Chains A and B, each alone.
Chain A
Amino acid sequence: MDWFNNFWSIYSNLVLSLGTNALLALSIYLTLACGMLSIANAAFMGIGAYTSALLTMNYGAPFPAVLAAGMAAPALMAFIIGKPTLRLSGVYLAMATLAFGEVVRIALLNAESITGGALGLNGIPQLTQWWHVALALVLTLALLWRLRRSRVGRAFESIKEDETAAGLMGIDVGAYKMLAFVLGAAIAGLAGALNAHLTFFIGPGEYGFDRAVDILTMAILGGISNLTGPVIGAVILTLLPELLRAFKDFRGVVNGFILVLIVLFLPKGIWDPARFRQWFGKRGGRI
């Protein structure tokens, strides 16, 4: 097991950030599955991260409670802003949630006495174990998988296909959208809380526009036709910069090229069951 210990001591952070990134990708998948392009997830992640980190550092709260609070705070926030925001659709929803994300980032930046301002919070105890991340991911996947096949999941699907028709069929569009939004925020908050207790430093810059775009990219790149896609997208986008170290100064360029090529040649994302079925005949069924 020597090689494993070696590997783990070097790459444990990377492996665990695979897990948190997968959670983030799933959180945006949930809203996308309901037909909403909401990119406030970076902000929700930030709210979760700060809430949990502050609880640990200032009040020494137990870790499970901290995680719960890290999910509850962004969920509550999502509930509050959900009502007016979810009236918007398409690009406008995307932009409103983006603007909300910026407001959160700037609020974190300016509430210096609580959040440490631009310096962020330092010395967060490293409480996240590998199995915390694994368990969170498995539970989230199980929940979302169960949800997909339930009444709720079917409602999401129909809202995504045609909102008006779904409404006419008696589906409470507003309530289901709110559910997806709040649940997505909670998952993003969980990822934030786990991540904060992993990296031992957090700052407002981590939860801005770039992170929002990253999260969206993971989900779209992997494919959002099912749960596997976002996870694969998260894995690829997390590993890619590491794998490209050999390119030194130009690794970002290569990274970008790969992103563009994937989008150009696999427009439905990497994990696309329809394409697999085409390749392997009809036997594949629903993957």
Chain B
Amino acid sequence: MLEQQLVNALSLGSVYALFALGFTLIFGVLGVINLSHGAVYMVGAYAAEQAVAHLALPLWGALLFAFGFSGFMGLLIDVLVLRPLRARNAPHLIPMIATIGVGIILTNGIQGIFGAENLRFPLGLVPDTTLSLGGLSLTALELGIILLSFVLMALLLLALKKTQLGRALRAIAESPKAAYLLGINVEGLFYLTSFVAAGLGGVAGVLIGLSSNALYPLMGKSMLEKGIAVIILGGMGDIRGALIGGLFLGFAEVLSVAYIGSSMRDAVAFGLLFLILLVRPKGLFGTLLERKV
């Protein structure tokens, strides 16, 4: 059943990558380890569920809604919390602590509104057809997760590589001050980054919520830990690193569950991370971006 495991790994890994992409984008551009990213991911999942339940949106509409809603949340966090700290040039630990506070607010807010028990997406939201591809069976959900994650990641990579906006963003990642002197609208791009990163996180939340079919206020916590592992694996602030790190973690987890035992799932992830850091202190792709950190 190795092939089947590989499919599972691919779908899990692509969601990890999607989540980590937003995480790493914020670190790369804003220089902040945003520990509220897990909570934003959770908010995205809840937004989609509410959109389906109360606005009767179809799945694609719910995904779009989740992207917009959590993106707006990210924008709000940036404007209200991170911008004042930027303006004051606070040392780098301070914004991180602030985002911890934001995470606490969001998690407890959702718990206060919806309660601590699990919410579910209604049945039949995703067609339960199964595709068989030469002995492999792929559910529509798995296929959708893999496709959507990869399409979003490809779009982001293309945008960063090819567009003027992407060049500006990379310039900021290199040095916000220099970018500002060159006439780049640094603040505006900070907002855009926060929006897109949070939006991607929210979509990842919907995808995981669909595949595990359970939403709960603390669902972002384990994802955040995974996200940290992924961006360290790949090298902080490196986009390709997040992609490959996410897939790598997905494969490592699924295969370790299949062949070692389910209790070792997290041990493998973090054990690997610890080892990799000892061998390559800057992560797998870190050398290229050493200056940034």
Binding site for B on A (CB under 8 A): 37, 84-85, 87-88, 90-92, 95-96, 98-100, 102-103, 106-107, 109-110, 209-210, 213, 216-217, 220-221, 249-253, 255-257, 259-260, 263-264, 267
Determine the residue in chain A with the shortest Cβ distance to B217. A252
A259 touches B94 (CB 8 A): no
- When each residue 77-119 of chain B gets 1 if its CB lies under 8 Å from chain A and 0 otherwise, what string results? 0000100110010110110011011111111110110000000
**Residue from A87, A103, A221, A267 with most neighbouring chain B CB atoms (10 Å):** A267
A225 → B minimal CB distance (Å): 12
The answer to whether the Cβ of B51 comes within 8 Å of any Cβ in the partner chain is no
Closest chain-A Cβ to B35's Cβ sits at a distance in Å of: 7
B129 within 8 A of A: no
Number of B interface residues at 8 Å Cβ cutoff, please give it. Answer: 45
Check B98 against A252 for contact (C-beta < 8 Å). Answer: no
Task: For the complex formed, measure the closest distance between the CB of B225 and the CB atoms of chain A, giving whole angstroms.
Answer: 6
B221 near A209: Cβ-Cβ < 8 Å: yes
| A and B contact pairs by CB, cutoff 8 A, 30 listed | A37-B93, A87-B281, A88-B277, A91-B293, A92-B232, A92-B277, A95-B277, A99-B270, A99-B271, A100-B274, A102-B225, A106-B263, A106-B264, A109-B263, A249-B112, A250-B108, A252-B107, A253-B108, A256-B102, A256-B103, A256-B104, A256-B105, A256-B108, A257-B105, A259-B98, A259-B101, A259-B104, A260-B102, A263-B94, A267-B85
Q: A102-B225, A103-B270, A259-B104 are in contact. Are A264 and B111 (CB under 8 A)?
A: no
Between A and B, how many residue pairs show CB distances below 8 Å? 119
Let me know if B15 is at the binding interface, CB within 8 A: no
Q: Which 10 A-B pairs have the closest CB atoms?
A: A252-B108, A256-B104, A256-B105, A259-B101, A260-B101, A102-B270, A106-B267, A249-B112, A99-B274, A96-B277
Known A-B contacts A84-B278, A103-B271, A263-B98; A253 and B85 likewise in contact (beta carbons under 8 Å): no
Is B112's CB under 8 angstroms from A220's CB?
no
The secondary structure that dominates the B interface is: helix
Asked whether B229 is an interface residue with its Cβ less than 8 Å from the other chain, the reply is yes
Closest A residue to B115 by beta carbon equals A249
Asked if residues B108 and A110 are in contact (CB atoms below 8 Å), the reply is no
| CB-CB nearest in chain B for A265 | B84
What secondary structure prevails in chain A residues at the interface with B? helix
A253→B94 contact, CB < 8 A: no
Find the A residue at minimum CB distance from B105: A256
In the assembled complex, the Cα of A216 lies from the Cα of B94 at a distance in Å of 11
Residues of B within 8 A of A252 (CB): 104-105, 107-109, 111-112
Q: Are A213 and B35 in contact (CB under 8 A)?
A: yes
Chain B residues contacting A216 (CB-CB under 8 Å) are: 93, 97
B33 lies within 8 A of chain A by Cβ = yes
Residues of A within 8 A of B109 (CB): 250, 252-253
Q: A91, B33: Cβ atoms under 8 Å? A: yes
Please report B residues at the A interface, Cβ cutoff 8 Å. 33, 35, 81, 84-85, 88, 90-91, 93-94, 97-98, 100-109, 111-112, 221, 225, 228-229, 232, 236, 263-264, 266-267, 269-271, 273-274, 277-278, 281-283, 293
**Which chain A residues lie closer than 8 Å to B236 at the CB level?**
91-92
Query: How many Å lie between the Cα of A249 and that of B110 in the bound state?
Result: 10
Having A92-B293, A259-B101, one finds 20 other A-B pairs with CB under 8 Å, namely: A85-B278, A88-B277, A90-B293, A92-B283, A95-B232, A99-B271, A100-B274, A102-B269, A106-B266, A106-B267, A106-B270, A107-B267, A110-B263, A213-B35, A220-B93, A253-B108, A253-B112, A256-B105, A267-B88, A267-B91
The distance from the CB of A93 to the nearest CB of chain B, in whole angstroms, is: 9
Asked if residues B88 and A249 are in contact (CB atoms below 8 Å), the reply is no
Closest chain A residue to B278, Cβ basis = A84
CA distance A267 to B90 in the complex (A): 7
CB distance from B19 to the nearest CB of A (A): 16
